Structure 1
């Protein structure tokens, strides 16, 4: 499934026919066995890391409406949400290094301690900078320490079933986000902000601890490249296309993830309804995907849906329908990035390439929602998000063209 990352295009190896292994060759993935336990574990890790991050959209609507931090502005809360993603990705080189030195579980266990600690810290916040540190940076770093080391494990166990396994894992973030959005809204209404954060802390600690203890890598068999980065990979046209897709796509993804529930309020719906929209958005993300061509198609379709459904949506029913349909393809990046990266560079270079990918999308994750808020025109009511909607749709459509080009290039490489 890999291509030579540093040379001119060469056809990808066939998945079903391979020569006998030399003593130093990478053993083929077993396509099952204990790998399915890892899939279940990754499912829950995704649900209680990225699913929890997705539920920040409920807090994003809650904080400004309750004026809990008078020294804050809506832009502050947008940046805090962006910090969740940005610091999760910025910590990737350190997480990768810790994995190489001490094994996959060491950074994950550090994250498991930090994640609930950050939620508890946020429950004591009285100033906006407290939230920046706890609910922004702390949660982001914790998610990265848990998620980044686990990402490279599933491709090690699967080849022919790699897309299926990755799709099941990705469903965790969608289903987890769906459950946690509803639970967060219910807790905010019934036990208040402080205990909502503390209960979340207890749940994420238990679930992620059990899932992490069940994870098992095949690093000793595969012996991946020991470098945190391999910048020679940039020589590959395919690598540059995949990085371009990731970068552009993330602008649209962040805006959709964090703005849709606030848009529900902009068209006159309640905080409870905005939580429903956020939850349905995450429920739709439980779909599964294929590889280059399918991922490109889903990216394009998501952009089209923004223009044909979200832009004209002024009723709750249309908005929920859009949330479900777009949610089915919203998280295409998280569902496909590991198998796509393994396709392009192979298992040995996968950790180093993923480190580059994580860092490449830091800027979009930090600034996308801030850009959306700057594009918003509050005085226009239901049309207040028009410019942000166009920005989101164009991001997805442009990103899809980069992936279509990647598919075309790979097909031409095979034919020649």
Structure 2
């Protein structure tokens, strides 16, 4: 009889344990250890001075790169009303979209070079090209579209492309169980400290035409300081593939037949297609809806400031409950929030929208890369999987905002067309991510993915 009760208690305890979410360190430990891998599940430091200095260095790179990308809303407003006013919003948005295109497209070759051990060369070359292009932007003349496009779109974009993926991926060499949190901290650098301050500086000084040159140069000198510090603080921990002759070859073909991975990439593609619309056009939206010009300079800083919390809190939860389980509901809410722009026509309404959208969209921006590592079979695959996906995303980022600009049909500005298009794209992307999540959960035998 006692034996029966003991067996019943053990069964109940097992049932309760199965219903509880896994503990930290057990969720998304997806990188299975192979005999030729230089790491084991216990060999990741999961912290320490060197690890967090590397995260800090990566966040400083993101401050410089994404800082100017997510500030393009003020450039869009300034170019449309002042220095490139003879061009349509769609034509002007090609400058910022080409930046984003190169930021992600160059991730494929830079990811491969990163895997081969050229990390420091990528950071050095990317920093030099980025800084040179920023200072060239300060020398562009008003109403010279091609000068602005070459310096801000092409030059800055190429420099960011060389910098971004390596500075994000290197944190995966120090963290496994806390990888989502570490990568989230890197991405959150754009919304914190210098990133927020520089975006506000850009908006403040761009209101005075004569100070544009000095504003961009100030941005360049501060970026020089941050990129120098990041170069000194980031350090690789694992031997590169070139240093391990027994390392398996990393090729793209297996990724193309990985169905859950490709569906995930497709879902993120559509999400990226619509997600940046408020970052590019919200300030212009406020200006054209009667919001005072003295207030509009705060709109994008508020949007990005709110995304700081959206880029850190969900990443912390993702290490416990799974990356898909966090990113899908948060991004779905961001897509639904875009419809709220129809009612945001006052200062208070626009501020409320900026705070909410910044928070929920920030989750996708910081969780997209950690989500892709769920599919990696070893740490050697992290760079190529993220790089390949970023290359695909780049075409969505290249075309999304110019399409939105064309849908606006300036000078009529038909906002409903652009809002509906971008909201539907984000929601459709979330649907595909849900399909991918279901396939991953079935393959892993757990819902905590």
Please report the TM-score for the alignment, with normalisation by the length of structure 2. 0.82
Alpha-carbon distance in structure 1 between the residues aligned to 2:274 and 2:130: 26
Distance across 2 between alignment mates of 1:376 and 1:366 = 17
Deviation at 1:16, TM superposition (A): 7.4
The reply on whether 1:266 has 2:282 as its aligned counterpart is no
Q: Which residue number corresponds to residue 97 of structure 2? A: 82
Alpha-carbon contact 2:115-2:240 (below 8 Å) kept: no
Call closer, same or farther: CA 1:20–1:106 in 2, change over 3 Å: closer
> Residue 256 of structure 2 contacts residue 262 of structure 2 at CA under 8 Å; is this kept in 1?
yes
Question: Where do 1:235-384 residues align within 5 Å?
Answer: 235-287=257-309, 288=312, 289=314, 290=318, 291-307=323-339, 309-346=340-377, 347-378=379-410, 384=414
Q: Distance in 2 between matches of 1:17 and 1:316?
A: 45
Q: Distance in 1 between matches of 2:429 and 2:90?
A: 26
Contact 1:122 1:134 in 2 (8 A): yes
What is aligned with 2:256? Answer: 234
The 1:221/1:118 distance shift into structure 2, 3 A limit, reads closer
2:79 is paired with a residue whose SS is: helix
TM-fit CA distance, 1:414: 2.9
CA distance in 1, matches of 2:167, 2:292: 38
Mark the CA change 1:301 to 1:163 in structure 2 (over 3 Å): closer, same or farther.
Answer: same
Q: Distance in 1 between matches of 2:120 and 2:332?
A: 37
In structure 2, the residue matched to 1:139 is 156
Contact 1:187 1:193 in 2 (8 A): yes
Is this contact kept in 2: 1:155–1:339, CA < 8 A? no
| 2:235 aligned counterpart, secondary structure | coil
Q: Equivalent residue for 1:185?
A: 203
d(CA) in 2 for partners of 1:248 and 1:18? 27
Instruction: Show the counterpart of 2:172.
Output: 155
Aligned residue number for residue 94 of structure 1: 109
Q: Name the larger-Rg structure.
A: 2
Aligned length: 400
Structure 1 contact 264–273 (Cα < 8 Å) conserved:
no
- 3-state SS in 1 of match to 2:304: helix
Moved more, 134-143 or 148-157: 148-157
Match of 1:47 in 2: 63
How much has 1:37 moved relative to structure 2? 1.3
CA drift of 1:103 comes to 2.3
Query: Which residue in the other structure is 1:8 paired with?
Result: none
- Any idea what the Cα deviations from partners look like across 1:214-234, whole Å, max 9, x if unmatched? 111234078697867522112
Distance, in Å, in 2 between the alignment partners of 1:151 and 1:284 is 21
Q: CA RMSD in A?
A: 2.6
Alpha-carbon distance, 1:44 to partner: 1.7
Q: 1:377 to 1:268 in 2, by over 3 A?
A: farther
Aligned partners of 2:63 and 2:191 also within 8 Å: yes
Runs of 4+ in 1 over 4 A off after TM superposition: 13-25, 221-229, 377-381
Stretches of structure 2 lacking an aligned partner (at least 5 in a row): 1-25
Q: Pick the aligned partner of 1:389 from 408, 419, 430.
A: 419
Whether contact under 8 Å (2:168, 2:183) holds in the other structure is no
Q: 1:30 to 1:371 in 2, by over 3 A?
A: same
Tell me the equivalent position of 1:194: 213
Q: Which runs of 5+ in 1 are unaligned?
A: 1-12
2:156 is the counterpart of 1:124: no
Match of 1:30 in 2: 45
Q: What whole-Å deviation, never above 9, does each CA across 1:54-89 have from its counterpart, x for those lacking one?
A: 1121111112211x2466332221000101111122
Change (3 A) 1:73 1:239: same
- SS in structure 2 opposite 1:269? coil
TM-aligned CA distance change 1:64 to 1:415, over 3 Å: closer
| Cα distance in 1 between the residues matched to 2:34 and 2:445 | 26
Deviations 1:374-396 (A, max 9, x none): 11155666xx3111111121122
Stretch moving more, 400-409 or 330-339: 330-339
Pair 64,228 (structure 1): closer, same or farther in 2 beyond 3 Å = farther
Q: Do the aligned partners of residues 409 and 24 (structure 1) sit closer, same or farther apart at CA in structure 2, a change above 3 Å counting?
A: closer
